[in-house]
Amino acid sequence: MRITVKQQVLLAPATILVLLILLLAFMQYTYWDLSAKRREAKAIGTTFVALAEADMAARRLHLLLRSMQHTGMASPEDMALVSDLYERLFDAIGRLKPFGVLKNSGQISHLLALAEELNPADSPRIEETAESFARFRTELSAISNINQINSNRLRLDHEQDITQLVERTAIVSMSVLILAIVSGLLIAGYFSRRILNRVQSLSRNAVRIADGKLELPPAPDHIRDELDTLAISINRMTKRLIRVVGTEKLLEGAEEERRRIAMDLHDQTLSDLSTILRGLQSLSTETADKTVLAKTEKLEAELERAIANLRDIMNNLHPQTLDILGLGAAIEAHLEQDCCSDNLPEYHLYIDPQVSHLNLDQLKQLALYRIAIEAIQNVIKHAMASRYEVNLEVREETFILSVEDNGKGIPDRDSRDSGRGLNNIRERAKAITAEVSWKSSRFSSGTRFELTLHT
C-alpha cells in the first residue's frame, strides 16, 4: 500500500480527530437519550396539569348540571357557564400527552369519548348524568394514578441517569482522550522517525555528491512515497553526473594530450624544420650555380609552406592565443586568420568587455573555443550564407555565445541530430554544464546557434 509523505504526516492528527469525533458522537447519543427522558417528563407534567384542570372542570360542571336539573330552571348566565366549563374540560383532555403505557392503551381516547357523553347540549337525565360523570372521573382517576406512578419513577430514574451519565461521560472521555493522545504520539513518532531517517540518508547522499564523492547511492526497489521518488531521482542524477564527469575527464585528458602534442611539435619538429630552412638559406648564399640556386629557393618555399601548415596544425591542437590573450582574442584571431578570404561569407564579431573579466578555467575556455570554431565552420560549410555574426555577451552572470547567419537554415530535426559536428558541440557543452539551442535567425532566413553558461 502506497502512503504519501503528506498522508504520513497527517495520519496522527487524523487519528486523534477520528477518536474525538467518536467521543462527540457518544456524548451526543447519551444526551439524546437524556433528552428523550426529559421530553417524557415534560409530557407527564403537561398531563398532570391537564388532568387537574379536567377534574376541576368536571366537578363544577357536574354540580351545576345537578343544580339546574333539580330546579328545572336555567338562566342565560348558567348556560354560558355550563358551555364554558365543558369547553375547558374538552380543551384540558385535548392537552393530555400520551406517554409510556398510555401510548398504546387507548385510555385517552376512551376518556375523550366519555367527555363527549357529558355534553350538556344532549340534555341527559339526572341518573345518566351522574353515571356518566362517575365513569369519567373513574377513568380520569386511573390516568392520574398512572401519571403519578410514572412521574415518581421518572424522577428517580432521572437522578440515577444524571449520576450515571456524569460517571460514564467522565470515564469514556478520559479513556478516549488518553487513547487519542497515546495513539497520536505513537503514530507521529513512528512516521516522523521513519521520514527523518530517510531524509537524513538522502541528505548525506546529496552532501557526498556535492563534495565530489561520486558514489552511486542505493535506490529503492519500488516506489512507496515521494521520498522513494526523490531517492530514485538522486540515483539517476548521480549516474548522469558520473557520466558527465567521465566525459569531462576524457575531454580534459584529450585537451592535455593535444597540448602535449602541440608542444612536442613546436619543440622538436618545428625546430628541426627551422634548422633545415636556415641550412638551405645558408646554402643559397654560398652557391653561384643558378640551377642549384633555383632548386634551393624552391625547397625553401616548400619548407616555409610546410612550417606554416605545421603552425596551423599546432594552433588547432592547442591555440596559444587562448592561453595568452583569452577566449575573445583567440576567436578573433581565428576569424582574421582563416575566415577573411573573398570567397567566404562576411562576418561581424562583437565581444562584450565583461567577457575578459569572467573567471573561466582552462577546460571551459577550451570547450567554448572549440564550440565557437565548430559553429563558425558549420556556417561556412553548410549554411550557404552571405553574412553571419558572432557575439560573446554577459547578461546577469550568464555567458552567451551566439552564431547567427542568413543562410538556408537547418531543414529538419533529423539532419540536426545526425551531424557529427553538432553532436560534438552538444557533448562539449554538456561537459561544462552549458546549454545549447538552434532556432530561427532574426534575419529573413538562416539559423541562430546559442550557448548559455551560468558562471
pLDDT one-digit tens code per residue, 135-185? 777 877 887 787 777 777 767 666 666 677 778 778 888 888 898 889 888
Looking at residue 356, the DSSP 8-state letter turns out to be G
For the ranges 18-27, 109-118, 177-186, 401-410, the lowest mean pLDDT is seen at 109-118
- Work out whether strand 435-440 and strand 346-351 pair parallel, antiparallel, or are unpaired: unpaired
Same domain, 60 and 180: yes
Same domain, 142 and 21: yes
Q: Domain end: 276, 292, 318, which one? A: 318
pLDDT value at 12 more than 90: no
Q: Domain end: 274, 290, 318, which one? A: 318
Does any domain span residue 220? Answer: no
Does any domain span residue 195? Answer: no
Same domain, 312 and 329: no
Q: How many residues does the structure list for the chain?
A: 455
Same domain, 282 and 356: no
pLDDT value at 99 more than 60: yes
Does any domain span residue 350? Answer: yes
Structural contact between residues 402 and 430, judged by C-beta atoms closer than 8 angstroms: no
Give me the mean pLDDT over the 364-393 stretch: 92
Structurally, the chain folds into a number of domains equal to 3
Same domain, 430 and 371: yes
Give me the mean pLDDT over the 230-252 stretch: 76
| 379 pLDDT tier (thresholds 50, 70, 90) | very high
Same domain, 258 and 378: no
Helix/strand/coil for 422: helix
Does any domain span residue 218? Answer: no
Give me the mean pLDDT over the 104-112 stretch: 73
Q: Measure CA 242 to chain center.
A: 30
Does any domain span residue 38? Answer: yes
pLDDT value at 416 more than 50: no
Q: Domain end: 289, 318, 347, which one? A: 318
Q: How far is CA 286 from CA 279, 280, 290, 303, 387, in A?
A: 11, 10, 12, 19, 51
Does any domain span residue 107? Answer: yes
What's the pLDDT at 158? 63
Same domain, 150 and 17: yes
In which domain, by residue range, is 79 found?
A: 5-187
Same domain, 68 and 117: yes
Top mean-pLDDT range of 200-209, 227-236, 313-322, 434-443? 434-443
What's the pLDDT at 197? 85
Does any domain span residue 214? Answer: no
Same domain, 15 and 86: yes
Does any domain span residue 71? Answer: yes
For the ranges 72-86, 154-168, 391-405, the lowest mean pLDDT is seen at 154-168
